[in-house]
Structure 1
Amino acid sequence: MTIKRSILETAGDQFFLPDLPFYVNRVHESFAMLQHTHDFIEISYVAEGSGAHYIENTSLSVSKGDLFFIPVGVSHVFRPSSTANKNPLIVYNCLFTQEWMEQLLSKQSKGTKDDFNVLFTQAIEQSSWLSFKESNSEFQPLFERLHFEYNAHLSGFMTIFQACVAQLLVFMHRSQLAHPLDMTEAKLQDLDRLLAYIRSHCSHPISLTAAAARLSISERQLHRQLKKHTGMSFTAYVQQARIEACCRQLRLTDHKISDIAATVGYQDMKFFNQLFKKMTGVTPRTYRQQHRT
């Protein structure tokens, strides 16, 4: 059984005021949000906790210090490691229109030979997301300032806001120069296609050997690349894809929990319940009760 994911479309007019083409929030991520696209640019920073970030058909393990540049039209959603309140996944989101960013980049490029804006203009044109890792706590103070300035609306806050976003882009570019990706775009696309296949066919048995054969690489190579790209082992990635599929069915259907478990390959209900609670923090029955409308 193939489970089709629901992708929501989020419009900027839900966040932006007529004379204010940007927005900042600080949220506790949960399992309630669906994967979504938007008609604005988003920069997301993981401030606390850990979990997963689903971008298009890729799943990445995230923790404090991870930052993402999400262009228009790219689907994504954050998921916490569990629903336990003792270690929540807290994310800052800075949203702005593409036009506003293009104007900001145009201003920054005048009178300088620095080409840091090329990284972001290409990402915007190609609708390709970017990821970065904080090395010296350079991102967090900027997001704290952006969040404060947006909510306080003190005199001159727009000037400070623009300066903070420009500084953020520079730090992101420096991070990319210091830690360039060593996987070619073709290899990333092949791996992304494999991950998409696993997520859409998680009800079918798939082994590490078979997955490696699809990419014409060794099991050791696949394990290393998967660990680097997602932060998870092959088994953990498959389990997460299956539990995510179960969550969708628990939210959207009235099927028996045992039948839902069976559709993604779990016949041992004791093991399934233990795994589900380990990954979400609650039992399947409690999860359904919490997320039914």
Structure 2
Amino acid sequence: MNPSIHLFKSEFFFNSDLQLFVNRCTEDFNVPFHAHDFIEYSYVAEGTGFHHIDQDIVPVQKGMLFVIPVGIPHVFRPASSNVSEHPLIIYNCLFNMELIHKLAATIQEEDIRSHLIDLAKNKVPYVSISDQHQQVEELMVKLYRETSVTGIGSSTMLYTLVSQLVVTTYRQLHQKMHGEQRLPADFEHILHYLDQHLSKRIRMSDLSYRSGWSEKQIGRMFLSYTGQTFSSYLQHLRIQKSRELLRNSQHKVTLIAELVGYRDVDTFYAVFKRITGETPLVYRKKSRV
């Protein structure tokens, strides 16, 4: 594993026979980019921000659930540095292979058990879904309450709730994989255009001219399909591309800033640090250790 990626180990979190850890936390810029030797279900309960996971930067908002396999590095970052006024609150449910074996008696379907084992063996990519009808949120809240104040039958209740969380998530993932609608072709063209012309000045009016949609329509499409405004999406796309260039090229930071559309390097530095929590030079150094 890359030494710049911290490894969180099971023994730090699992201090009982349950082999299960549930918490509710407010994300900040202090937790390092990390991987772990357990499976993690993370639910966005409040606020907005970004999930840096593997090589992706995913905008997050309330109702999003991530299932993170063993060994996949990630970290959540809030959208604002003022976390007291604009918190990003996450519920986490952590467990390892030992608990999977215990759940096997409850989870009868072979496909779901195999999915859990693949997550534990880092054989599948991370999962990202949107909660339907607040089912996942309800389960996360119940799990958190049960672990916070244990009582008679807590172990049975917790294993039942974890099984429900796994099955509910798998159902929604299955629906997403088999019933998800494609983006409108014109909107795909817009996203492709942005990806290919990051070095240029791009305005909403340019996209309107190319697509034939009004600026208001385009704005609604960005919110609907990306969860972000046009300007926010473009800004984070530029930072994501700059991360790739910092990792994989020898270009100076000033040139990278220009290649992704920033004419003022100070602005680039400020936006990069706000989104990633690091300066471009620090990020480059860590990515090459």
TM-score category (smaller protein): 0.5 to 0.7
Q: Distance in 2 between matches of 1:25 and 1:245?
A: 36
Q: Distance in 1 between matches of 2:256 and 2:22?
A: 38
State the shift of 1:267 in Å: 6.5
* Cα deviation code 1:75-116 (max 9, x no counterpart): 111111112222211001111122212331x21244xx5743
Q: Distance in 2 between matches of 1:243 and 1:122?
A: 29
1:123 maps to which residue? 119
Q: Distance in 2 between matches of 1:22 and 1:155?
A: 17
Q: Distance in 1 between matches of 2:34 and 2:127?
A: 17
Q: TM-score of the superposition, structure 2-length normalised?
A: 0.66
Q: 5+ unaligned residues in a row in structure 1: which ranges?
A: 184-206, 212-218, 247-259, 285-293
Instruction: State whether structure 2 residue 268 is matched by structure 1 residue 268.
Output: no
* Cα deviation code 1:249-281 (max 9, x no counterpart): xxxxxxxxxxx974853663664476468x46x
Instruction: State whether structure 2 residue 149 is matched by structure 1 residue 157.
Output: no
State the shift of 1:237 in Å: 1.8
Q: Distance in 2 between matches of 1:244 and 1:31?
A: 21
2:131 maps to which residue? 134
State the shift of 1:29 in Å: 0.6
1:103 maps to which residue? 102
Q: TM-score of the superposition, structure 1-length normalised?
A: 0.65
| Cα 1:80/1:244, change in 2 over 3 Å | farther
2:48 maps to which residue? 50
Match of 1:169 among 141, 144, 166: 166
Q: Distance in 2 between matches of 1:78 and 1:149?
A: 25
1:11 maps to which residue? 9
1:34 maps to which residue? 32
Q: Distance in 1 between matches of 2:242 and 2:98?
A: 39
* Cα deviation code 1:195-235 (max 9, x no counterpart): xxxxxxxxxxxx83278xxxxxxx99xxx99x968966454
Q: Distance in 1 between matches of 2:73 and 2:41?
A: 13
Match of 2:60 among 62, 65, 72: 62
2:237 maps to which residue? 237
1:24 touches 1:147 (CA, 8 Å); kept in 2? yes
Q: In the comparison of the two structures, how many residue pairs are matched? A: 230
Match of 2:145 among 130, 135, 148: 148
